[in-house]
Amino acid sequence: MNVLPYPEVPEPSTNDPVTAVPANGAATGEASRINKFRRGFERFRGDADAYAHGDAQDDDGNLELAVLLLREENARLKAERHRPPDVGMMIDHLRRIADQRGEDELADDVWSLLSECMVIREELSQACVEIKAAMTAVQEHLARLATAAAAIGGGVPTLPHQAISRSRPSPVLGLAPTPDGDLEPHPLDGAAVSEQ
């Protein structure tokens, strides 16, 4: 990518009426606006130049930052190594160990709970599949029984529990269901026969 150089912005002079700065150093309103625009343009131009050559500068900046952080860490570790042992240092060290162990145990507990939930989910999914297969088998068996009962009974397919209740009177009331679903006295019931 070729970057064309930006034209230089002229410095304010006393001869130019647009960028003229009075001798006492106080800028006029229009001149101050021009100066602000010029400074903004220079900043923009600097940003554009940094963007054009930003990869190398970013790498250099990142390396300098990493070196600075490593130096600070080394200095802290050296100072800590030369510090005489005391009770406070031991307590801090034990707290750090306990915190680290607590975080590890918490992470282990979370993973254990997650894996147990996944196992339960798979088991429930398998149970649902088995229940669905059992329900399908029962429905097919009932359909076969209904067609067999229809063939034996003369046409109207009935479910097995309906066929049984039609052949026997109700033990409590002595009533039998009619084909419409109403209850009427069963003809074989002694009380119903004696009344007729």
Question: Is residue 177 one of the residues assigned to a domain?
Answer: no
Task: Say what the pLDDT of residue 99 is.
Answer: 75
For 96-127, the pLDDT digits (tens) are: 887 776 666 777 778 888 888 899 999 999 99
Question: Is residue 194 one of the residues assigned to a domain?
Answer: no
Question: Is residue 45 one of the residues assigned to a domain?
Answer: no
Query: Dihedrals φ, ψ of 61, to 5°?
Result: -65, -40
- What domain range is 129 assigned to? 86-152
Question: Is residue 28 one of the residues assigned to a domain?
Answer: no
For 160-185, the pLDDT digits (tens) are: 555 544 555 445 445 555 666 565 65
Question: Is residue 109 one of the residues assigned to a domain?
Answer: yes
Count: domains in the chain: 1
Question: Is residue 73 one of the residues assigned to a domain?
Answer: no
Question: Is residue 107 one of the residues assigned to a domain?
Answer: yes
Distance, CA of 148 to CA of 163 (rounded, Å) = 12
Task: Say what the pLDDT of residue 196 is.
Answer: 41
pTM over 0.85: no
For 17-51, b where at least 16 C-beta lie within 10 A, e where not — what string? eebbbeeeeebeeebeebeeeeeeeeeeeeeeeee
Question: Is residue 79 one of the residues assigned to a domain?
Answer: no
